[in-house]
Amino acid sequence: MDQIEIEARGLTFSAHCDGPADGPVIIMLHGLPRTSWEWHHQMRPLARMGYRTIAPDLRGFCPGARPAHVEAYVISEFMADVLAIADVVASEGAAFHLMGTSIGAVVSWRVAAANPERVRTLVCINIPHPGALAEIAQSDEAAEQALRMSYMENSRKEGNERATFERSLNRMGLPEDETNPYREALGNDAALRTVYHWYRAIDIDPDRGRLPPPVTMPTLFLWPPGAGNVSRASAEANRHYVAAPYRFEILENAFNYALQMEPERITALLVEHLSEHDRED
């Protein structure tokens, strides 16, 4: 696994990568408050299959792509970043495989729904399609899902960043070698402030109330109940928003750092997903 820099949209994104330079590209989007390191268990096995695995640090998470203002962190900016990065590491307009966890899943659903010609297969972890959350918000299950997302109010407050960051890392109970890369990359006030702009931008995002259509590519959705922020009803409603082959798997032993808490099982599921659905026409 190598570290590279990707120039896109006038920004410099740091990234981890592996696999042959001419292999089919997989873009892997991390969660919050993590970095591209989150995918380190999965990158090598997929690279051995011949894929070019690229896990970029999202905007706000790396020094070269750290705009200061909250307005720079609306969802459309993250979406544009993903497509521009894919244009650089694959070729302009080329299709790629997309995988995302946590906020990376939020971005992935919208990129895939808006650009079906670009995304060959999709994997999302923990966060379901926005349509599933909207569906449950209008149901008898609304109160439970709203309570599960109530942490966002505290996360958007200025001055709470460091305590929220440390609490998240400590809650996982992972070994230090699994979490120290996050502290090294994000353990300064400038980084943490922009990382948590994700939550502050939600209220000003013009796309907040615009639901994307169902995705139309083969999709694998992995739900860790222990993450606590997505109800079972929301996770199960996700099937209504995939108009393509769909697989839903529950990760019983993981929190929202699922990639590091159940690495072997998730890797096996990713391999099965690609083996089944990445076929040339």
Of 30, 62, 75, 113, residue with least CA distance to 198: 75
Q: Please report, for the domain that includes residue 19, its CATH number.
A: 3.40.50.1820
**270-271-276 Cα angle (round to 5):** 100
The pLDDT, as a whole number, for residue 280 is: 53
Alpha carbon distances (Å) from 24 to 45, 94, 101, 132, 160: 14, 10, 20, 30, 41
Of 106, 108, 57, residue with least CA distance to 83: 108
Look up the pTM and report it. 0.96
Alpha carbon distances (Å) from 31 to 198, 206, 257: 11, 22, 8
247: left (phi over 0), alpha (psi -120 to 50) or beta: beta
pLDDT along the chain (281 residues), means of 10: 96 98 97 97 98 98 96 97 97 96 98 98 98 95 93 87 92 92 93 95 89 97 95 97 98 92 97 89 43
The pLDDT, as a whole number, for residue 16 is: 98
Of 234, 265, 263, 261, residue with least CA distance to 249: 265
| CA 143 – CA 62 distance, rounded (Å) | 36
Of 200, 218, 245, 267, residue with least CA distance to 97: 218
- Look up the domain containing 131 and give its range: 2-277
The pLDDT, as a whole number, for residue 187 is: 86
Say how many C-beta atoms besides its own lie within 10 A of residue 168's C-beta. 20
Domains contained in the chain, number = 1
Say how many C-beta atoms besides its own lie within 10 A of residue 251's C-beta. 21
**126-128-134 Cα angle (round to 5):** 140
The pLDDT, as a whole number, for residue 229 is: 93
